[in-house]
Amino acid sequence: MQTLSSDSSGAYSDEELIKHLPGFTNHYATVNGVRLHYADGGSGPALVCLPGWPQTWYSYHPIATQLAQRYRVILVDIRGMGSSEKPLAGYDKKTMAQDIYELLGHMGLEKASLLGHDIGGMVASSFAFNYPKATEKLIVADGAHPSEGMMQMPMLPAPGSFTRKMNGQYPYPWWMAFNQVKGLPEQLLAGRFEYLLDYLFGYVMLDESRMSAFDRALYASVYNQPESIRASNAWYQAFDQDIADARMYARLTMPVLGIGSHVSYHYLQMSLPSMAEQVEVIGILDSGHYLFEEKPDRVLEAVYNFLG
CA separation for the pair 117, 135 (Å, rounded): 17
CA separation for the pair 142, 63 (Å, rounded): 16
CA separation for the pair 52, 22 (Å, rounded): 23
Q: Is residue 4 one of the residues assigned to a domain?
A: no
User: Per the structure, how many domains does the chain have?
Assistant: 1
Q: How does DSSP classify residue 6?
A: T
Average pLDDT over residues 247-258: 97
SS3 237: helix
Average pLDDT over residues 215-232: 98
CA separation for the pair 238, 90 (Å, rounded): 9
User: Per the confidence metrics, is the pTM higher than 0.85?
Assistant: yes
Q: Residue 270: in which H helix or E strand, if any?
A: helix 265-275
Residue 142, pLDDT above cutoff 70:
yes
Q: Is residue 1 one of the residues assigned to a domain?
A: no
Q: Is residue 8 one of the residues assigned to a domain?
A: no
Work out the pLDDT band at 7, boundaries 50, 70, 90: low
Q: How does DSSP classify residue 53?
A: T
Average pLDDT over residues 35-43: 98
Q: Is residue 7 one of the residues assigned to a domain?
A: no
Q: Is residue 173 one of the residues assigned to a domain?
A: yes
Q: Which residues partner with 244 through β-bridges? A: none
CATH of the domain at 191: 3.40.50.1820
Residue 291, pLDDT above cutoff 50:
yes
Average pLDDT over residues 101-123: 98
The alpha-carbon radius of gyration of the chain (Å, integer) is 18
Q: In 76-211, which ranges are continuous DSSP H helix?
A: 93-106, 119-130, 175-178, 184-189, 193-204
* Measured CA angle at 226 (ends 222, 228), to 5 deg: 45
Q: Is residue 182 one of the residues assigned to a domain?
A: yes
Work out the pLDDT band at 4, boundaries 50, 70, 90: very low
pLDDT tens per residue across span 57-84: 999 999 999 999 999 999 999 999 999 9
Q: Which pLDDT belongs to residue 6?
A: 42
Residue 307, pLDDT above cutoff 70:
yes
Residue 9, pLDDT above cutoff 90:
no
Q: Is residue 9 one of the residues assigned to a domain?
A: no
Q: Is residue 5 one of the residues assigned to a domain?
A: no
Domain hosting 124: range is: 14-307
